[in-house]
């Protein structure tokens, strides 16, 4: 019995420590996937935001993702629409930043962010 409890603790503790040490986790496996694929996995988004490049946040979880693809100072990017979606996952939010490619909303980047993290 004692060995079982110790063995279980050895399995669970690294996961807990990893979550505490990694309050923001990149989710590269979602890059270029469709919004429909993410919704199939996580359900209906709890949040949705939409804005154009000139109104894009400059200090947010996704500003590097957005401006690496659509630099704010380029005139051709001024009308590009970005959509952000968020799903609740326990103490975390799964966040996705999307742009429209060939009539489909595709993920530019996604992250798993602890609820206590703010930008």
What does 9-57 look like in DSSP terms, one character per residue? HHHHHHHHHHHHH-SEEE-GGGTT-BHHHHHHHH-S-SEEEEEEGGGS-
CA–centroid distance for 35 within its chain: 12
Distances (CA, A) of 19 to 25, 92, 112: 9, 10, 10
Q: Pick from 53, 106, 61: which is nearest to 80 by CA?
A: 53
pLDDT value of residue 106: 98
C-beta separation of 48 from 39 below 8 A: no
pLDDT value of residue 10: 46
pLDDT value of residue 72: 92
DSSP annotation of 91: T
Q: What is the band of 17 on the pLDDT scale with cuts at 50, 70, 90?
A: very low
C-beta separation of 91 from 113 below 8 A: no
The string of pLDDT tens digits covering residues 50-62 is: 999 999 988 888 8
Task: Count the neighbouring beta carbons within 10 Å of the beta carbon of residue 98.
Answer: 24
pLDDT-above-70 percentage for the chain: 82
């Amino acid at each position: 019995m004692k060995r079982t409890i110790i063995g279980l603790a050895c399995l669970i503790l690294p996961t807990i420590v990893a979550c505490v040490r990694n309050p923001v986790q990149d989710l590269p496996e979602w890059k270029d996937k469709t919004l429909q694929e993410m919704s199939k996995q996580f359900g209906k988004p709890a949040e949705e935001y939409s804005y154009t490049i000139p109104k894009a946040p400059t200090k947010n979880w996704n500003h590097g993702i957005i401006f690496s693809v659509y630099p704010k100072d380029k005139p051709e990017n001024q009308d590009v629409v970005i959509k952000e979606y968020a799903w609740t996952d326990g103490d975390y939010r799964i966040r996705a930043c999307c742009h429209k490619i060939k009539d489909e909303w595709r993920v530019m980047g996604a992250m798993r962010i602890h609820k206590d993290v703010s930008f």
